[in-house]
Structure 1
Amino acid sequence: MMTLDVAGDILASGLKLVLIISLVAILPSLAVGLLVSLFQATTQINEQTLSFLPRLVATLLTLVFTGKWMLIQLTDFTHLLFQQAALLTG
């Protein structure tokens, strides 16, 4: 039977998974953006492509290297949801 505790646990685990996956994708872009900003501040070069392209490349490389892991995490969570749904409905 679906209770508020079970629904809260499912929601909490889903939000935790979303946060972990989004942090894995966002943190490298933030780090590269910080490094590029420091470089631009020290050299006083204010070029838009200099700040955009390295972050884009870092994000794409992160998705290439961690995409399989992200997909596995999402499919595992989906399988868990379907298993719990089958158990909770009877």
Structure 2
Amino acid sequence: MKKQRYTPEFKQEAVKMIIIDGVTVKELSKQLGVPEGVLYSWRQKHLDELEANSPEGAQSPKAMAAEIADLRKQLAKQKRMSEILKKTVSYFSEEV
């Protein structure tokens, strides 16, 4: 089987979709037909490059990516809580 080659632009766009757009690696792997392990390695390499080129005193790109992921999880949890509260309010506000 021939090894697939990807352009740097393709790799950058895939990493952008993972880090910035919040697309899961599993989902992106299915969309693009790229193995999950390859996507993880591209993301890690990109973050390492950003880390090496980041100015002194600035927040680490790895820390920023982790913070973004954490905030996405918190937002999803808050959305679920909001839906539960809406359903609870509508249940108790129904007239019998």
| TM-score, with structure 1 as normaliser | 0.36
Task: Report which of the two has the higher share of helix.
Answer: 1
Flag the structure with more relative contact order, 1 or 2, with Cα contacts below 8 A and sequence separation at least 6.
Answer: 1
| TM-score, with structure 2 as normaliser | 0.34
